[in-house]
Amino acid sequence: MFYFSAGLAIIGAVLYQYFVKLVPGSINPVVSVIGQYVAALILGVGILPLFPAPGGLWQQVRQLNWIQLALAVSVVLIELGFLLMYRAGWNLSTGNLVTGVFINLLLAGLGVWLMGERMQYINAAGVALCLAGVALISYRPA
């Protein structure tokens, strides 16, 4: 399950970036996001039987809290952000890569600051390489 789950996330992220780049510029971005979540709701209900709910579905529903709302806000921001990025002219080959580096740098900082994770010197060297990589990827000759 360790590698399968990572593979699933990678496939989903690649498909997501590819298809969000294909969303027509004529559709309102909020309408597009709403359509995606209606479809996601239908798909989620369809695959729910594949993931049995310990204690029953109602017990699981009762555990919902503010975190689901926070995740919903986060996901809508991601959806709108990438959709608007591609409409603004970002390339598929660099848009996600550039934002991904900054996302991961911020998460590394949050991990150290809020979660008590430790950063080794080799990790700091990796951060420096990531920043250099973003500079090289983002470079546009004058």
Residue 87 to residue 89: CA distance in whole angstroms? 5
**What whole-number distance in Å separates Cα of residue 77 and Cα of residue 30?**
11
Torsion of CA 49, 52, 57, 60, to 10 degrees: -130
Question: For the chain, what are the domain ranges?
Answer: 1-90, 91-142
Distance CA 45, CA 76 (A): 20
Instruction: Specify whether the CB–CB gap between 79 and 40 falls below 8 A.
Output: no
The pLDDT, as a whole number, for residue 77 is: 94
pLDDT digits (tens, 9 = 90+) for 76-97: 999 999 999 999 998 888 888 8
Pair of tokens at residue 37:
């979540």
110-137 pLDDT per residue, tens: 999 999 899 889 988 988 998 898 888 8
pTM of the model: 0.80
The structure tokens listed for 60 are: 């699981």
